[in-house]
């Protein structure tokens, strides 16, 4: 296990408890404690009951077919995800309700009612069809946080095409890799994106990414205009607005999809160099998203809900697009950064729209703490009634700060543990029922069963730590890894028989609350983003000067973890601060800015065991300045001494 041992020490003294405020409990969607027991006794019955909140074209005839590790949920059911997210609301009293309140970085705004959104989605679906997109085709989407992004997702889902969104912060090489793996013939991008007043050259990146790829057409949204200076390639590139103008304004009939038809792929980092295309299907995924909006987020028709994530990650898929829209919410969508143009941007948005439910990441909360309370204090935040966090363990101090300075002591906090693979929130409080403890995601939501187990797969007693596992299949679980079912079985289902292994360590307290300790595999979590150490190592070794590289995550005050790279250079290469800069730049080009190492240390040799394995734990200890444990298995102990010395010198 590699989670930060200091964290466990902190946790053991954390005993503050916060019962749901009476006022909240009284109005909560889920306010009957017996739901936990009912769902635990009959999870399939629970999910079947929740599935009544979706609109089906044809009912299923079996809730679950479980041929471990392959699941089929709602067998033979037929539905369309976009019909559920948009059209069914257009047919009822929510027709003219606001669906999306969009706030652009430069302060431009757009408002879409469900009816307006539906018309745009239908036009976009006609447009995709005119480009030859059919059910089952993969469409890669590389867009900033503009309304065309959810519209593109919903248009794909309406046709039955499989979308694969690539976060706009990824490099052209990372985009190329994901396009090729998904075998997409269409790429949707923008001329450029805004970022703190500057431009992200999305079209230029896309131009590089599509070389030697399956892409035949590039659909370009104009976000920035002339300033972006894009070059359009005749016969390949077309403007979104040109085709939208030509698209018929008639309704686009929703494709009837099987419950198990693939809805989307989303690439995520693993322990090997190659990102995995996580496969989610239609009914089960939508059900997980929809149910958690009502249970964990206590969504009501009157709410103004804001999730600050980017749709490029799973949080945005589930809690900006599919969850809120399927539940008929009014949701804020923001294009920009929290500090542009000023550090009160988020609080200004909360006040402006009267946000009632606010969902963000611990790394942002720590940043706000550092900036100081004057920024939230300069705005009226009284509209807020519920707060959420996701992406990494939240340290109790940050939880308390969030509770006091954003929630003013009145708002329950839902710390939601889940993953790209789980599709929706798995361990989280139900805000009207669960007593929270700062730093714990508390207990699994109804219908989900988890355990903390030891090396043998036996559940640990309360008070102990081990591996977190999910013990029963759930509707929004990943179905496979795109094109690599073996990897799916090996990565998630081989460690403990019959259990899903997420790769996190956890501690179970005396009330059987779960405290997530962090990843126990070679994956690091930088500002809530998952980065494989192998990916960064491969990027470094790809540089002509590098012989070998070892990458670790060390604790970082704001980011949670930061990337430290230990590098040995090839014979004859001079190490210099210039080379450090070059190597950092190289990683950014290969992967994206999120993978930029915080520091790079040159070593004559990397510490290895006698069986030639790099001792990462040792490197982590060196990087965190901790006392070193057992180094007796080390082939050459002097390597450690010289590394330690160097690390000190570099500080």
Mapped onto helix, strand or coil, the DSSP state of residue 116 is helix
Interface segment toward ligand WT7; rule CB under 6 A; list 48-56, 214-222, 323-331, 502-510: 502-510
Orientation angle between helical segments 34-41 and 43-50, nearest 10 degrees: 110
Select 84 or 269, whichever has its Cβ closest to ligand WT7. 269
Q: CA 315, 318, 324 angle in degrees (round to 5)? A: 120
Are 628 and 622 in contact by the 8 Å Cβ rule? The answer is yes
Select 157 or 390, whichever has its Cβ closest to ligand WT7. 390
In the complex, minimum distance from the CB of residue 421 to ligand WT7, in angstroms, rounded to a whole number:
7
Residue from 415, 509, 535, 537 in contact with ligand WT7 (CB under 6 A)? 415
Q: Using the rule CB under 6 A, is 441 a contact of ligand WT7?
A: yes
Nearest Cα residue to 312 out of 444, 166, 429:
166
* Whole-Å CA distances, 91 to 94, 585, 641: 8, 52, 70
In the complex, minimum distance from the CB of residue 507 to ligand WT7, in angstroms, rounded to a whole number:
12
Instruction: Quote the tokens at residue 306.
Output: 């804001």
Are 174 and 202 in contact by the 8 Å Cβ rule? The answer is no
**Contact map string, positions 606 to 625, toward ligand WT7, x by CB under 6 A:** --------------------
Q: Using the rule CB under 6 A, is 555 a contact of ligand WT7?
A: no
Residue from 83, 418, 482, 499 in contact with ligand WT7 (CB under 6 A)? 418
Q: Using the rule CB under 6 A, is 432 a contact of ligand WT7?
A: no
Place of tokens 């805004």: 194
Question: Cα(452)–Cα(468) distance, rounded to whole angstroms?
Answer: 5
Residue from 38, 383, 419, 495 in contact with ligand WT7 (CB under 6 A)? 419
Select 149 or 413, whichever has its Cβ closest to ligand WT7. 413
Q: How much helix, strand and coil, in percent to the nearest 5, is found in the chain?
A: 35, 25, 40
Select 11 or 219, whichever has its Cβ closest to ligand WT7. 11
Q: Using the rule CB under 6 A, is 298 a contact of ligand WT7?
A: no
Question: Cα(550)–Cα(584) distance, rounded to whole angstroms?
Answer: 14
Mapped onto helix, strand or coil, the DSSP state of residue 143 is coil
Interface segment toward ligand WT7; rule CB under 6 A; list 243-251, 512-520, 545-553, 606-614: 512-520
Q: Using the rule CB under 6 A, is 420 a contact of ligand WT7?
A: yes
How many residues line the site for ligand WT7 (CB under 6 A)?
A: 23
Select 275 or 528, whichever has its Cβ closest to ligand WT7. 528
Select 504 or 509, whichever has its Cβ closest to ligand WT7. 504
Count of residues in the chain: 651
- Provide the CA 595 distance to its chain's centre, in angstroms: 15
Interface segment toward ligand WT7; rule CB under 6 A; list 212-220, 341-349, 412-420, 638-646: 412-420
In the complex, minimum distance from the CB of residue 362 to ligand WT7, in angstroms, rounded to a whole number:
8
* Whole-Å CA distances, 545 to 535, 568, 601, 603: 18, 9, 14, 13
Q: Using the rule CB under 6 A, is 437 a contact of ligand WT7?
A: no
Residue with the shortest CB distance to ligand WT7: 420
Instruction: Quote the tokens at residue 521.
Output: 């595999």
Q: Looking only at residues 256 through 285 of this chain, which bind ligand WT7 when binding is defined by CB under 6 A?
A: 268
Residue from 314, 430, 470, 551 in contact with ligand WT7 (CB under 6 A)? 314
Contacts of 339 (CB under 8 A, 6+ apart): 196, 345, 371
In the complex, minimum distance from the CB of residue 417 to ligand WT7, in angstroms, rounded to a whole number:
4
Instruction: Quote the tokens at residue 291.
Output: 């149910």
Instruction: Quote the tokens at residue 475.
Output: 């509707």
Q: Using the rule CB under 6 A, is 502 a contact of ligand WT7?
A: yes
**Contact map string, positions 523 to 542, toward ligand WT7, x by CB under 6 A:** --x--x-x------------
Select 141 or 186, whichever has its Cβ closest to ligand WT7. 141
In the complex, minimum distance from the CB of residue 427 to ligand WT7, in angstroms, rounded to a whole number:
7
Interface segment toward ligand WT7; rule CB under 6 A; list 9-17, 237-245, 332-340, 517-525: 517-525
Q: Looking only at residues 557 through 586 of this chain, which bind ligand WT7 when binding is defined by CB under 6 A?
A: none
Residue from 416, 436, 501, 564 in contact with ligand WT7 (CB under 6 A)? 416
Question: Cα(388)–Cα(380) distance, rounded to whole angstroms?
Answer: 19
Q: Which helix (H) or strand (E) holds 354?
A: none
In the complex, minimum distance from the CB of residue 639 to ligand WT7, in angstroms, rounded to a whole number:
30
Residue from 50, 292, 315, 395 in contact with ligand WT7 (CB under 6 A)? 315
Select 507 or 519, whichever has its Cβ closest to ligand WT7. 519
Question: Cα(590)–Cα(539) distance, rounded to whole angstroms?
Answer: 6
Interface segment toward ligand WT7; rule CB under 6 A; list 132-140, 222-230, 409-417, 600-608: 409-417
Select 152 or 425, whichever has its Cβ closest to ligand WT7. 425
Mapped onto helix, strand or coil, the DSSP state of residue 504 is strand
State the Rg of the chain over Cα.
24
Nearest Cα residue to 202 out of 216, 222, 184, 217:
222
Mapped onto helix, strand or coil, the DSSP state of residue 506 is strand
Nearest Cα residue to 312 out of 159, 524, 530:
530
Select 161 or 430, whichever has its Cβ closest to ligand WT7. 430
Nearest Cα residue to 445 out of 50, 49, 53, 35:
35
Q: Using the rule CB under 6 A, is 360 a contact of ligand WT7?
A: no
Q: CA 518, 409, 439 angle in degrees (round to 5)? A: 10
Nearest Cα residue to 645 out of 609, 597, 614, 604:
604
Q: Tell me, what DSSP letter sits at residue 417?
A: B
Which residues in 303-312 are b (16+ Cβ under 10 Å) and which e? Answer: bbbbbbbbbb
In the complex, minimum distance from the CB of residue 420 to ligand WT7, in angstroms, rounded to a whole number:
3
Select 389 or 564, whichever has its Cβ closest to ligand WT7. 389
Residue from 43, 393, 407, 412 in contact with ligand WT7 (CB under 6 A)? 393
Are 355 and 330 in contact by the 8 Å Cβ rule? The answer is no
Residue from 81, 516, 549, 552 in contact with ligand WT7 (CB under 6 A)? 516
Q: Using the rule CB under 6 A, is 288 a contact of ligand WT7?
A: no
Q: Using the rule CB under 6 A, is 491 a contact of ligand WT7?
A: no
Residue from 147, 275, 391, 431 in contact with ligand WT7 (CB under 6 A)? 391
Select 69 or 518, whichever has its Cβ closest to ligand WT7. 518
Place of tokens 């995709």: 128
Q: Looking only at residues 166 through 205 of this chain, which bind ligand WT7 when binding is defined by CB under 6 A?
A: none
Q: Which residues bind ligand WT7 (CB under 6 A)?
A: 268, 314-315, 390-393, 415-420, 441, 502-504, 516, 518-519, 525, 528, 530
């Amino acid at each position: 296990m590699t989670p930060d041992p200091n964290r466990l020490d902190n946790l053991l003294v954390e005993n503050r408890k916060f019962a749901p405020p009476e006022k909240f409990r009284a109005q909560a969607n889920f306010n009957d404690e017996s739901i936990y027991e009912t769902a635990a006794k009959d999870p399939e019955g629970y999910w079947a009951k929740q599935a009544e909140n979706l609109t089906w074209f044809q009912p299923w005839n079996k809730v679950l077919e479980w041929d471990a590790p392959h699941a089929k949920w709602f067998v033979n059911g037929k539905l369309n995800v976009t019909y559920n997210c948009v059209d069914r609301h257009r047919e009822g009293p929510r027709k003219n309700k606001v669906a999306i309140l969009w706030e652009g970085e430069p302060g431009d705004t757009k408002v879409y009612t469900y009816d307006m959104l539906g018309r745009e989605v239908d036009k976009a679906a006609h447009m995709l069809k005119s480009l030859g997109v059919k059910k089952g085709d993969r469409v890669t989407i590389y867009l900033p946080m503009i309304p065309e992004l959810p519209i593109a997702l919903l248009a794909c889902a309406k046709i039955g095409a499989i979308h694969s969104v690539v976060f706009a912060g990824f490099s052209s090489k990372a985009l190329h890799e994901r396009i090729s793996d998904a075998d997409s013939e269409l790429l949707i991008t923008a001329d450029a994106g805004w970022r703190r007043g500057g431009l992200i050259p999305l079209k230029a990146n896309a131009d590089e990414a599509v070389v030697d790829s399956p892409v035949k057409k590039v659909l370009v949204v104009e976000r920035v205009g002339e300033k972006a200076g894009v070059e359009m390639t005749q016969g390949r590139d077309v403007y979104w607005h040109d085709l939208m103008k030509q698209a018929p304004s008639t309704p686009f009939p929703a494709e009837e999809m099987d419950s198990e038809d693939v809805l989307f792929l989303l690439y995520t980092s693993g322990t090997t160099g190659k990102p995995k295309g996580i496969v989610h299907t239609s009914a089960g995924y939508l059900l997980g998203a929809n149910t958690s909006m009502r249970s964990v987020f206590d969504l009501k028709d009157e709410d103004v809900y804001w999730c600050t994530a980017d749709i490029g990650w799973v949080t945005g898929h589930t809690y900006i697009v599919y969850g809120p829209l399927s539940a008929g919410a009014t949701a804020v969508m923001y294009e920009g950064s929290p500090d542009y143009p000023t550090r009160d941007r988020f609080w200004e948005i909360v006040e402006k729209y009267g946000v009632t439910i606010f969902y963000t990441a611990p790394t942002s909360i720590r940043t706000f703490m550092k900036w100081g309370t004057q920024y939230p204090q300069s705005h009226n935040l009284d509209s807020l009634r519920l707060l959420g966090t996701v992406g990494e363990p939240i340290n109790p101090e940050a939880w308390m700060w969030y509770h006091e300075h954003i929630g003013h002591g009145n708002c329950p906090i839902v710390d939601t543990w889940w993953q790209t693979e789980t599709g929706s929130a798995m361990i989280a409080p139900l805000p009207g029922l669960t007593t929270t403890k700062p730093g714990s995601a508390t207990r699994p939501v109804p219908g989900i069963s988890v355990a903390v187990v030891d090396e043998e797969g036996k559940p640990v007693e309360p008070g102990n730590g081990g591996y977190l596992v999910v013990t029963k299949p759930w509707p929004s679980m990943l179905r496979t890894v795109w094109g690599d079912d073996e990897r799916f079985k090996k990565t998630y289902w081989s460690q403990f028989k019959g259990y899903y292994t997420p790769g996190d360590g956890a501690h179970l307290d005396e009330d059987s609350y779960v405290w997530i300790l962090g990843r126990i595999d070679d994956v690091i979590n930088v500002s809530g983003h998952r980065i494989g150490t192998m990916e960064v190592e491969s990027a470094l070794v790809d540089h002509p000067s590098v012989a070998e590289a070892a990458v670790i995550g060390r604790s970082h005050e704001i980011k949670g973890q930061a990337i430290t790279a230990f590098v040995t250079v090839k014979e004859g290469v001079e190490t210099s601060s210039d080379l450090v800069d070059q190597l950092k730049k190289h990683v950014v080009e290969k992967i994206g800015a999120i993978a930029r190492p915080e520091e790079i240390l040159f070593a004559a040799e990397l510490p290895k065991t006698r069986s030639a394995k790099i001792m990462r734990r040792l490197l982590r200890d060196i990087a965190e300045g901790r006392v070193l444990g057992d180094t007796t298995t080390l082939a050459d102990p002097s390597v450690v001494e010289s590394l330690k010395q160097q690390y000190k010198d570099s500080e």
